[in-house]
Chain A
Amino acid sequence: MDARDTAIINQLQGGFPITERPYAEVAKTLEITEKELIERLENLLAKGILSRFGPMYHAERLGGGLTLAALHVADEGFDRVAEQVNRFPEVAHNYQREHHLNMWFVLATETPARIDEVLAEIEQKTGCRVYNVPKIEEFFVGLRFEL
């Protein structure tokens, strides 16, 4: 990562032009060539610094379901339960956190009804009670990092 990569990430966290030659447009504001921009993006994706370059969808508007849920897992069984949970293709993120409720995962499903079904399956498979905390209201969605 050098200063140019940083500039690219800062610029593209804010959005992307929907035009015929969008990379050329972005490259121009960054004072690099289109080819260099594309190569640097390929490289940042290959290195795993960027997880994706594309859309962030509003799940509910697509007719999908989205939620955050938590489990309390005993320390000795933690890795086993993590594997059981991660095996569900609907689980998009999973974090171990420092709390009695120590496993927190995001579930994204093709329909809202699938949320309850998958959570019930997770409960059954892991033997842990699931705390489902779907969003009621969103106050901010930025998730961008000034580098």
Chain B
Amino acid sequence: MGLTARDQQLVAAIQSGLPLVSRPFADIGARIGLSENETIERIQALLTDGTIKRLGVVVRHHELGYRANAMTVWNIPDDQVDELGRRIGAVDFVTLCYRRPRHLPDWPYNLFAMIHGQNRTAVLHNIESLIERCGLKTIQHEVLFSRRRFKQCGARYIDASPRQPAEGRMHSQSGGPP
């Protein structure tokens, strides 16, 4: 798409993380033949045009004590999904909210909202509150709690280094009632 070869190199150079050194952008620039200033300018441009959604820390929520996470899915009439999607997405404990396609008849749900919490009780309480606040009483929905996380690694879009072997890590998600 619109990325220049230089920007692709830049994206590849930072995709696994920013260097933890005093002048990280000088460090990155040196790797790909850009000055510190040019590196800063290009990263700012990529943030402005939305290629980089944000720069910062990505937490492992399980390790932070958010042991329950539920993917809530909703079957919302097509003519209401934009309005309700915006309303649900604006609720503070909803961490992701997407419209996605149905697969009828097996899968009637077209709106997905992710809700994290310290435990299942807290998550279920939030869902009740969501139904109340967004007027979802008549909307068919299901709650898909996660049981185990098999893999969580940053998506890699540009292959700049040798592929790492697929991880086989398994974390059991205990801590919530069954």
A residues in contact (CB < 8 Å) with B: 8-9, 12-16, 18-24, 34, 38, 41-42, 44-45, 47-64, 66, 68, 70, 82-83, 85-89, 91-99, 101, 104-106, 108, 110, 131, 133-145, 147
Known: A21-B22, A141-B96. A52 touches B58 (CB 8 A): yes
Residues of A within 8 A of B36 (CB): 20
Q: How distant is the Cα of A87 from the Cα of B167 in the complex, in angstroms?
A: 7
Q: Tell me which residues from 80 to 116 in chain B have a Cβ below 8 Å from any Cβ of chain A.
A: 82, 85-86, 88-90, 94-101, 103, 106-107, 112, 114, 116
Do B54 and A15 touch (CB < 8 A)?
yes
Residues of B within 8 A of A51 (CB): 58-60, 152-154
Q: How distant is the Cα of A82 from the Cα of B20 in the complex, in angstroms?
A: 34
Do A138 and B59 touch (CB < 8 A)?
no
Q: Tell me which residues from 17 to 66 in chain B have a Cβ below 8 Å from any Cβ of chain A.
A: 17-18, 20-26, 36, 40, 43-44, 47, 49-61, 63-64, 66
B163 within 8 A of partner (CB): yes
- Which single member of A58, A105, A108 contacts B51 (CB below 8 Å)? A58
- Nearest-neighbour CB distance to chain A for B129, whole angstroms, equals 17
Task: Sort A-B residue pairs by CB-CB distance and give the 8 closest, nearest first.
Answer: A140-B89, A139-B89, A108-B155, A63-B1, A139-B97, A133-B100, A94-B150, A137-B99
- Which single member of A44, A106, A141 contacts B155 (CB below 8 Å)? A106
Do B149 and A94 touch (CB < 8 A)?
yes
Do B150 and A53 touch (CB < 8 A)?
no
Do A15 and B44 touch (CB < 8 A)?
no
Do A59 and B155 touch (CB < 8 A)?
yes
- Nearest-neighbour CB distance to chain A for B25, whole angstroms, equals 7
Q: Which B residue's beta carbon lies closest to that of A101?
A: B107
Residues of A within 8 A of B21 (CB): 38
- Nearest-neighbour CB distance to chain B for A135, whole angstroms, equals 4
Do A139 and B88 touch (CB < 8 A)?
yes
Q: Give per-residue flags for B138-156: 1 if the beta carbon is below 8 A from chain A beta carbons, else 0.
A: 0000101111111111111
Q: How distant is the Cα of A110 from the Cα of B2 in the complex, in angstroms?
A: 14
Do A16 and B56 touch (CB < 8 A)?
yes
Do B71 and A58 touch (CB < 8 A)?
no
